[in-house]
């Protein structure tokens, strides 16, 4: 391989790497507003572990895990940010004011004490279509996905993940 061919090959490799890095960043970054109007941005949470949990009021395993996740969030304090994303609404591409009121009341009843985001087109844009519930994604302090599970999680499991254990 001559110099020109090597230069071209290196250029193509760097372009591929840049495109791949951009795709990974875009797929994992999020910028949402919670039900109190506060922004929940992955970029603002660099240096912290971030747990994103998708749930719905009609999902029994989701409802069962919420108190455990709330306890985990309380125990971890500032080391971890937990964000719950509720995926229930009656119709259309986003929750109505009535849906929001019902979901917030339900969340309070089941001790959902961490930031709550109502799922909509924006959440689907950032996370893709969630096909099964509950679903949990954990981002490391560097903002990269380190754990993803469809199915219930426990306080103990999340504690192991944010301790750096490979699961």
Look at residue 83 in the predicted model and tell me its pLDDT: 97
Look at residue 14 in the predicted model and tell me its pLDDT: 42
Residues 5-12, mean pLDDT to the nearest whole number = 45
Look at residue 7 in the predicted model and tell me its pLDDT: 47
Percent of the chain residues past pLDDT 90, beyond the cut:
70
The dihedral over CA atoms of 156, 158, 163, 164, expressed in degrees to the nearest 10, equals 130
Question: To the nearest whole number, what is the mean pLDDT of the chain?
Answer: 84
* CATH superfamily, domain at 28-162: Glutaredoxin (3.40.30.10)
Whether 47 shows a pLDDT value over 70: the answer reads yes
Residues 141-149, mean pLDDT to the nearest whole number = 96
The dihedral of CA 49, 55, 57, 59: what is its sign? negative
What's the N-to-C CA distance of the chain in angstroms? 43
Q: Residue ranges of the domains in the chain? A: 28-162
Phi, psi of 25 (to 5 degrees): -60, -45
Whether 18 shows a pLDDT value over 60: the answer reads no
Question: Which of 2-11, 37-46, 129-138 has the weakest average pLDDT?
Answer: 2-11
65-122 pLDDT, tens digit per residue, is: 999 999 999 999 999 999 999 998 655 667 788 888 999 999 999 999 999 999 988 8
150-163 pLDDT, tens digit per residue, is: 999 999 999 999 99
Look at residue 89 in the predicted model and tell me its pLDDT: 67
pTM, rounded to two decimals: 0.81
């Amino acid at each position: 391989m001559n110099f020109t061919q090597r230069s071209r090959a290196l250029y193509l490799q760097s372009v591929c790497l840049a495109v791949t890095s951009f795709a990974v960043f875009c797929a994992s970054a999020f910028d949402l507003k919670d039900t109190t109007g506060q922004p929940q941005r992955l970029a603002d949470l660099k240096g912290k572990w971030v747990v994103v949990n998708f749930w719905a009021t009609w999902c029994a395993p989701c409802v069962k895990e919420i108190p455990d996740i709330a306890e985990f969030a309380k125990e971890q304090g500032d080391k971890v940010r937990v964000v719950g994303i509720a995926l229930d609404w009656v119709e259309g591409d986003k929750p109505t004011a009535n849906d929001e009121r019902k979901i917030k009341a339900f969340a309070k009843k089941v001790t959902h004490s961490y930031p709550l985001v109502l799922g909509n087109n924006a959440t689907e844009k950032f996370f893709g279509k969630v096909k099964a519930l509950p679903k949990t994604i954990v981002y490391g302090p560097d903002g990269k996905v380190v754990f993803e599970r469809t199915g219930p999680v426990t306080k103990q499991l999340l504690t192991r993940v944010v301790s750096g254990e490979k699961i």
